[in-house]
Each structure stands twice: as structure tokens, then as C-alpha cells.
């Protein structure tokens, strides 16, 4: 079964933004500074660039991004 990378990206981008906001919110609420690392997925979601995906050469956890 082939995975449609375009549909998956439409899901991943808002997911990263929401995850980043949640992590930052937990950091503000609890006072634990480690949760401020939520800025990373927030920026990745807003910009549309994920450094982890660029380093590994994979778009998603499901495998390589195929544009065939």
C-alpha cells in the first residue's frame, strides 16, 4: 500500500504546530524549562521545514518521500 506524501504533509504540519504550542503551554504552566523546546516543532510547522527530516532524508516516519 502506497502512502500519499502530500496528504501526510497536510497532517504533519498542523500537528507540529499544535504539539509545539502544547509543549510551550505545559512549560509555562509547570515552570519546567525543558518544555520550552516546543519552539522547535512550532517553528518547523510554521516554516514547513523539519531539520530532522532533512538530516535523515525521510519525510515521515513511514519511509522515504517518493514523488513518483
Q: How many CB atoms lie within 10 A of CB 18?
A: 13
- Confidence class for position 68, pLDDT limits 50, 70, 90: very low
**pLDDT at position 46:** 87
Our measurement of the distance from residue 66's CA atom to the centroid of its chain's CA atoms, rounded to an integer in Å, reads 19
pTM above 0.75, yes or no: no
The rounded distance, in Å, linking the Cα atoms of 27 and 66 is: 37
**pLDDT at position 51:** 73
**pLDDT at position 7:** 56
Q: What is the tens place of the pLDDT at every residue in 6-36?
A: 555 677 888 889 999 999 999 999 999 999 8
Which residues are paired to 63 by β-bridges?
A: 60
The rounded distance, in Å, linking the Cα atoms of 33 and 27 is: 6
Q: How far is CA 43 from CA 3, 4, 39, in A?
A: 25, 24, 6
Amino acid at each position: 500500500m502506497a502512502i500519499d506524501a502530500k496528504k501526510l504533509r497536510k497532517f504533519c504540519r498542523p500537528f507540529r504546530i499544535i504539539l509545539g504550542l502544547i509543549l510551550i503551554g505545559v512549560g509555562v504552566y509547570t515552570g519546567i524549562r525543558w518544555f520550552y523546546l516546543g519552539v522547535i516543532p512550532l517553528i518547523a510547522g510554521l516554516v514547513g521545514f523539519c531539520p530532522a527530516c532533512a538530516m535523515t532524508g525521510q519525510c515521515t516516519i513511514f519511509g522515504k518521500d517518493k514523488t513518483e
